[in-house]
Amino acid sequence: RSYLNAVTRGAAHYAPGEQVNEPGWIKLNTNESPLPPSPNVFRVMAELVGQGDILRKYSHPLGEPLLSALADYWQLGKENIIVTNGSDEALTLICRATLGAERPAVFPAVTYSLSRTLVTNAGAAYTEIPMVERTGQPYGIDIEALAKCSEAVVFLANPNAITGEYIDAGRLAGIIAASKSLWVVDEAYNDFAGPEATMMKYITQLENLVVTRTFSKTHALAGLRVGYLASGNQELMQGLLAHKDSYNEDALATRLAAAALADKAWHERTIRAVLAGRDFLRAELIALGFECFDSEANYILARAPEKPGAPAVVRRLRDYKILVRHYAGSPFADCIRFSVGAEGENAKLIGSLKEILKSL
């Protein structure tokens, strides 16, 4: 006898990137920051030690002091922002509040795979828009096709997950303004695309826009699970709050994330380091025979040399204790996604690849 409801019986599971629990591994498979968090974070962490009330009492239900810090940072009202337990929770809330059996979603066929999981688990159907081939990006987003869709909600990662493709914010704003659908723009990697790349400046202009963002990448706080969403549509925001857990973000995380947000210089330093590492990896991978696709994120999707092929390269990299992302069974199973690591990690990766390609 099953005690699960119909939606849960058909629920989809998300497969996260491999996590290792032993020292010595180089993780270039989950797009984490190669630099540590801002020194501000450790200073605040030290100040919190011994403050028992921080742990004894419930955290602020709306995520203060981070909520106020975000409102000031983006020059928005606090009613336009919801602090979440990572941007994954932000996407979950949106699915719960906006989708259903009669309200389907649509997204590119190649994108953040959690989209399929969350939409399915909300009891909704989805349409995948086929990718288009263009110069530098064989798995390009067909934004024109997305714009013509009539589904209730459009999910778009910008830059796109897996591929790293970025769509100009101004162009995207025009498309959203002309659409009747709700557009959810996931900006997990957006800071790597430049200071003008974000859709946050359109929050109060477009009532059918929601932006989700995270502290996992450029703020190096993936382990804290801090994110947020923003919208100018107050009816939508009230609906999302109805689905939010009462105390969804813990008291330590909100204080440490606020400390990271305040250190703009460190944030910019992290971005510069990643962009330099991305340029290095791209040049070296091309020299080794990889076909690197255009990316504005902190990773590169690259087609491996036909011989030995992507699966063999991935297996051999494990012998060097290096993890990269391979999507076996996908249309791009001949490709490997390399997260940008620290300078020494990038050098170790390239050195290991040189040895592997010589030996196979």
What is the tens place of the pLDDT at every residue in 246-301?
999 999 999 999 999 999 999 999 999 999 999 999 999 999 999 999 999 999 99
Nearest of 83, 66, 47 to residue 257 by alpha carbon: 66
What is the model's pLDDT at position 166?
98
Confidence band of 330 (pLDDT split at 50, 70, 90):
very high
What is the tens place of the pLDDT at every residue in 218-234?
999 999 999 999 999 99
What is the tens place of the pLDDT at every residue in 175-218?
999 999 999 999 999 999 999 999 999 999 999 999 999 999 99
Supply the mean pLDDT for the chain: 96
What is the model's pLDDT at position 6?
87
Prediction pTM value: 0.95
What is the model's pLDDT at position 22?
84
